[in-house]
Structure 1
Amino acid sequence: MTSAAPPSTTHLLYLHGFRSSPQSMKAAKMAAWAAEQPGLTWWCPQLPPSPAEAMALVREGTSHWPAGRRAVMGSSLGGFYATALAGDGGWRAVLINPAVHPARDLAKYIGEQTAWHDPDVRFFFRAEFIAELETIDPGAPREPAAVQTWIAQGDEVLDWREMAARHAATELHVLEGGDHALSSFDTHRDAMLRFLNLCP
């Protein structure tokens, strides 16, 4: 007897990184793909600077999504948030160069910041946001079998060794070279979608 196929995913969330937005390369490509998928609920919110507010927004916005039929993709800081969200259960997750120690790494960014995709957009990264990140910190994924992680050794922002160690129990893909944005995203997208039960 063959095992039943996993249920198809009907709801997909994308979480962007620090100073990023739904206009990021990967988010925009996924939005275009999602728009062509009948019956798929897609959401890529602009995350507020406050980590606590970002997680509250995401959890409230997905509270009615069906467990076992929902998936999240997260890049960089969005990968950190996605790991925390997946820890709630009922999610499949793809993490792309996920932040591991954002409370440490973002401390130097306290103050006024500009958005990557629109320098005219400014926000203030407050000192208390560091404590919020420490509170959220999920550690290693609680359900590693439901998580796929993509790490570029050439990441110019985060240490690929730290990322690989934190996510060693997940389906881990460590890529030679590459960059933080994962410019080779198109090459790996189908494998990500298959893992998320979004395509055969």
Structure 2
Amino acid sequence: MSTTHLLYLHGFRSSPQSAKARLMAARMAARHPAVHWWCPQLPPSPHAAAELIAQGTADWPGDSMAVVGSSLGGFYATWLAARTGCRAVLVNPAVDPARDLAKYIGEQTAWHDPEAHFFFRPEYIDELRALQAGALRHPERLMAVIAKGDEVLDWREMTARYPGSLLRVVEGGDHALSDFETAHLDAVIAFLQPA
């Protein structure tokens, strides 16, 4: 079944202004205008982010909703897919953000607005642990795009997290997946809108 509702979840310190979020929004508006698109600004608290995601998708049809998540957004997308069984595309997804983000406790700036500051609190680490999805019941409903050249996350760990899922493991690349538009966007849309 084709996607009728699509959620995009950005990564840590990112926003709906990220390049991938804007590319996805433009493509959906141009070629799939009937799809309900939502790309919220996620709060720093993982618990609050999960509440926002859960409330915002509560009345979405489970069999035709989908989520795309990048980095920390990929972690949240995995959590949502485990809860709902929806299709999900994960772009260089964070596998263990409770471990990886512990070194970022303190004041942070936003990538797309250096004037915007937020505080990443120590209790957010436990909130991340609480959202760990565990084994996936429907791995075939997930696709992961993973760059071996990711300078932030280990591609082997990402690949091992999604057995049974469709994996696009890219030679080289980077954490932002800078070639997303030219090399991956069509495949992502095709996975979300199967013919």
Which bin holds the TM-score, normalised by the shorter protein? over 0.9
1:145 and 2:140 aligned? yes
**Structure 1 gap ranges (5+):** 1-6
In structure 2, the residue matched to 1:23 is: 17
In structure 1, the residue matched to 2:48 is: 53
* In structure 2, C-alpha distance between the alignment counterparts of 1:118 and 1:183, rounded to whole Å: 19
**Structure 2 gap ranges (5+):** none
Q: How many residues align?
A: 193
Task: Name the stretch that deviates more: 134-143 or 173-182.
Answer: 134-143
Deviation at 1:143, TM superposition (A): 1.2
In structure 1, the residue matched to 2:126 is: 131
Out of 186, 191, 197, the position equivalent to 2:187 is 191
Deviation at 1:35, TM superposition (A): 2.0
The percent of aligned pairs where both chains have the same amino acid is 64
In structure 2, the residue matched to 1:4 is: none
* In structure 1, C-alpha distance between the alignment counterparts of 2:28 and 2:170, rounded to whole Å: 25
* In structure 2, C-alpha distance between the alignment counterparts of 1:100 and 1:106, rounded to whole Å: 11
1:41 and 2:36 aligned? yes
* In structure 2, C-alpha distance between the alignment counterparts of 1:49 and 1:192, rounded to whole Å: 27
Q: Is the 8 A contact 2:85 2:138 kept in 1?
A: no
Normalised to the residue count of structure 2, the TM-score between the two structures is: 0.96
Deviation at 1:169, TM superposition (A): 2.0
Q: Is the 8 A contact 2:68 2:88 kept in 1?
A: yes
Q: Deviations over 1:30-53 (max 9, x none)?
A: 111122223110000000000000
Secondary structure of the residue aligned to 2:83 is coil
Instruction: Kindly report the root-mean-square deviation, in angstroms, between the aligned alpha carbons of the 2 structures.
Output: 1.1
Q: Is the 8 A contact 2:110 2:116 kept in 1?
A: yes
* In structure 2, C-alpha distance between the alignment counterparts of 1:41 and 1:90, rounded to whole Å: 18
1:22-171 matches, within 5 Å, as 22-36=16-30, 37-171=32-166
Secondary structure of the residue aligned to 2:84 is coil
Change (3 A) 1:185 1:72: same
